Amino acid sequence: MQNSRKLLITLALLSISQILWAVDFPTPEVVKISERIFVLHGPIQHANKTNQGYMINTTIIIGDKGVVLVDPGGTDEVGHYIKQQVKKITSKPITHIINTHSHGDHYLGNIAFPKATIISSEKCRDLVIQTGDVWLKMMENMVGRPFPNTKPVTASVVYPANSKTPITLNGVKLVIWVPAGSHTNGDLMIYLPSEKVLITGDILVNGVVPTMQDGVVKNWISVLKEVEQINANTYVPGHGALMKRGEVKSLHDAIDRFYAGVRDGYLAELSESEIRKKLDLSEWEKLERAYVIGRNINRAYLEIEQDLF
């Protein structure tokens, strides 16, 4: 029995190794923020055949006895690949996974870390239960092949909406900040007061158009104002390069102008296509993922319509 179990484990490890060898993932840019915080910058395009579903920033927080990993990627394969990248930085085990929100590119890699404690907002957990299979199918369609070993895995530790909770993991002091629904209804941010670092998920993005189809844009604007005011020197966005306070303000102002423009158009009884022609979208049209602008207008339009109903 023991020999059979060892054989099964060996075959499983060989299978994982073959997958990692066969898939040519893009090499992440590794940015060191401090002695214990590193960021793996993945590609910023949506999932496709070139990036094989690897398309996010992952933050590595090294504690006394292990690693806290923020956002493990969008498939089991990406999760295993990120695990290999972490091993190049530290030999400590990954003990905790934190999911910033319920979009599959950020959390479907959970399954690659069966021994880790997974943390998210309460609403994120609920959304993973409701939409996990849909996100997996989306990833498969965008990459162009199935991921039979990827399954949505929910958090076992969750935090309620509109809360800021100080915790200590592996000797590292964190604040788990669950704001009002912004990019999604289940967003979560992580603040490290000692390093003055805020890890935001897709509440912040850099070099890409913010995606609003699952968002609450009015809340998002208010949350960005709070983000600007927090005592942070470095902001880790969900996609793109690290940000400073001035860049956070620029994103805040851009979303604020966008929402106000859609609202003015709605009040003038313009259609969505007419609003798009009147908005100055030149800043966003030159960024990656500019194709989401139409969806963003639709989301803001429907939100404003509901607010004024």
255-283: b (≥16 Cβ within 10 Å) or e? bbebbebbbebbeeebeeeebbeebebee
> What's 212's domain CATH number?
3.60.15.10
Within a domain: 12: no
pLDDT of residue 3: 54
pTM: 0.92
Mean pLDDT, each 10-residue run in order, the chain (309 residues) = 52 46 86 98 95 97 97 98 98 98 98 98 98 98 97 98 98 98 97 98 98 97 97 98 98 98 97 96 95 97 92
In a domain, 129, yes or no: yes
- The answer to whether position 208 is within a domain reads yes
Measure the CA–CA gap between 250 and 50, rounded to whole angstroms: 31
Query: How many distinct structural domains can be found in the chain?
Result: 1
Rounded Cα–Cα distance for residues 296 and 211 (Å):
7
Q: Does residue 113 lie in a domain region? A: yes
Given this model, what pLDDT does residue 21 score?
41
pLDDT score, position 309: 79
Domain boundaries, position 37? 19-308
So what's the pLDDT on residue 23? 83
Specify if 287 maps to a domain. yes
Asked if residue 161 belongs to a domain, the reply is: yes
Distance in angstroms (rounded) separating the CA atoms of residues 263 and 259: 6
Any domain includes 253: yes
- Domain annotation covers residue 11: no
Q: Which two tokens stand for residue 224?
A: 């960005």
